[in-house]
Amino acid sequence: MIKEKKRTNLSFPSRLLSPIRVFLEKRLVSLKKGKKQLKKNDPFFAENRANENAFEDDLDEQIGHFDNEIKTKFLSREIVQLRKALTRMKIGKYGICEKCGKMIDTDRLAVHPEATLCIKCSKKREE
């Protein structure tokens, strides 16, 4: 038996969404700049990178690159989440859980404005 998602026709007024949209757009720009800076500072792509390194120098490069990769992937996920939230605003579904279709608690949105899942669905996803 397929469980049908419960949908709601509620939406936030545009006067409330406008400052949230501005905040999310500014954060998106900031994260993109941060991601670009991380890539620029990656030791694997440094202009003065030596081909023949001592073991310790090579290990430092490896660790620096690994650290940058982790941070870049985290920022990429955050960027995707911000884009999803902004898209949901455009189509009038901001604040509605993308899994169950119920309204996302406003306290959750106040703390995590890019949330696209209610707390219940978010916890299920993490399990």
Domain boundaries, given as residue ranges, for the chain = 14-126
Euclidean distance between CA atoms 55 and 114, whole angstroms: 43
Alpha-carbon distance of 31 to 113, in angstroms, equals: 15
Secondary structure class of 101 (helix, strand, coil): coil
Can you read off the two tokens belonging to residue 118? 């209610």
pLDDT confidence of residue 79 = 97
Q: What 8-state DSSP symbol labels residue 26?
A: H
CATH architecture under which domain 14-126 falls: Up-down Bundle (1.20)
Ranges of the chain whose pLDDT falls below 70: 1-11, 46-53, 55, 57
| Structure confidence at residue 50 (pLDDT) | 59
Structure pTM? 0.76
Rounded to 10°, the helix 14-40/55-90 angle is 160
Report residue 76: phi and psi, to 5°.
-60, -40
Q: What is the pLDDT of residue 2?
A: 47
Angstrom distance (rounded) from CA 123 to CA 12: 24
